[in-house]
């Protein structure tokens, strides 16, 4: 179980997240959607503490951290939370000087201190899972965007995190390459991988997510099942957002 309680985040005098509380069950996929600047990526980054909340609490499994203005949290406490997460970034962030398999192995060897042979076997297992085993020895510069993102997903999964966090995982890709990534994430969802994704790609969210949280101006406007949010939202603001994104992405409602 992942639980965010009364999360607030401010940058200076600007409140970016305002009293947000959500629960994410194990094995579920939650999509954070909403207009740009609504707070979805910031909220996602508060889960693994790439952004430290100004107030509230974060719980992942048995680990819980409370935050208060002016109170410093120890690096050790942050790492206990962060090591239970894997992160997939918008722009892949692969190491250009390492091959695909070396990128996946890197954290296992340097952070978890795995023997090289064990790390290599785990990396190849994950590259196979995301359909990239045939590119294990390729440099990132020779891979398409979709292929790089699939390697990045394998890297995020390498330490067997409790939750996979995806920050706009398809936004840097054209529709054809995006479909490759949606397919991989869909298969992970069917296997019971717990995921939270910040995305403006409603095709991705509607195909994969069980639960959707619609954010605007740092607050939760509406949350519910993916079917309810995309087919029969209760709030007029949610309806307008879904309609506008559907029109922009060429999707029909329902």
Please tell me what DSSP assigns to residue 73.
P
pLDDT at 84: 94
CB atoms within 10 A of CB 217: 14
Phi, psi (5° rounding) for residue 30?
-115, 130
Q: Is 118 helix (H, G, I), strand (E, B) or coil?
A: helix
pLDDT at 248: 64
Is pTM beyond 0.85? Reply is: yes
Give the C-alpha separation, 187 to 141, whole Å. Answer: 26
Radius of gyration of the chain (CA): 18
Q: Mean pLDDT in the chain?
A: 92
Q: Are strands 195-198 and 29-33 parallel, antiparallel or unpaired?
A: parallel
Q: pLDDT tier at 250 (50, 70, 90 boundaries)?
A: low
pLDDT at 71: 86
Cα–Cα separations (whole angstroms), residue 125 to 49, 200, 243: 28, 30, 40
Residue-wise DSSP of 136-193: TT--GGGS-HHHHHHHHHHHHHTT--SEEEEESTTTTS-HHHHHHHHHHHHHHHHTT-
Give the C-alpha separation, 205 to 127, whole Å. Answer: 24
pLDDT over 90 at 70, yes or no: no
Q: Are strands 14-24 and 2-11 parallel, antiparallel or unpaired?
A: antiparallel
Q: pLDDT tier at 245 (50, 70, 90 boundaries)?
A: confident
Contact 56, 6 (CB under 8 A): yes
CB atoms within 10 A of CB 111: 12
Domains and CATH numbers, the chain: 2-84+164-249 (3.40.50.300), 94-160 (no CATH)
The 10s digit of each residue's pLDDT in 125-170 is 999 999 999 999 999 999 999 999 999 999 999 999 999 999 999 9
Give the C-alpha separation, 145 to 180, whole Å. Answer: 10
CB atoms within 10 A of CB 147: 21
Residues with Cβ within 8 Å of residue 148, at least 6 apart in sequence: 92, 94, 140
Please tell me what DSSP assigns to residue 134.
G
């Amino acid at each position: 179980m992942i639980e965010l309680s009364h999360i607030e985040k401010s940058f200076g005098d600007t409140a970016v997240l305002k009293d947000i509380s959500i629960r994410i069950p194990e094995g579920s996929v939650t999509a954070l959607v909403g207009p740009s600047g609504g707070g979805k990526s910031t909220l996602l980054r508060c889960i693994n503490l790439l952004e430290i909340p100004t107030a509230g609490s974060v719980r992942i499994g048995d680990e819980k951290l409370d935050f208060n203005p002016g109170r410093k949290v120890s690096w050790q406490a942050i790492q206990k939370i962060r090591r239970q997460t894997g992160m997939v970034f918008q722009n892949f962030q692969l190491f250009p000087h390492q091959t695909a398999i070396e990128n996946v192995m890197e954290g296992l060897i340097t952070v978890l201190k795995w023997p090289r042979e064990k790390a290599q076997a785990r990396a190849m297992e994950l590259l196979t899972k995301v359909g990239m085993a045939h590119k294990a020895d390729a440099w990132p510069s020779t891979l398409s965007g979709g292929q790089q993102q699939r390697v990045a997903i394998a890297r995020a999964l390498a330490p067997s995190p409790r939750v996979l966090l995806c920050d706009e995982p398809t936004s840097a890709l054209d529709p054809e390459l995006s479909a490759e990534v949606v397919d991989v994430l869909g298969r992970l969802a069917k296997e019971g991988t717990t995921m939270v994704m910040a995305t403006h790609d409603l095709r991705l969210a509607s195909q994969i997510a069980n639960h959707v949280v619609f954010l605007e101006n740092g607050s939760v406007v509406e949350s519910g099942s993916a079917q309810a949010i995309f087919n029969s939202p209760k709030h007029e603001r949610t309806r307008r957002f879904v309609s506008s994104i559907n029109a922009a992405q060429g999707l029909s409602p329902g």
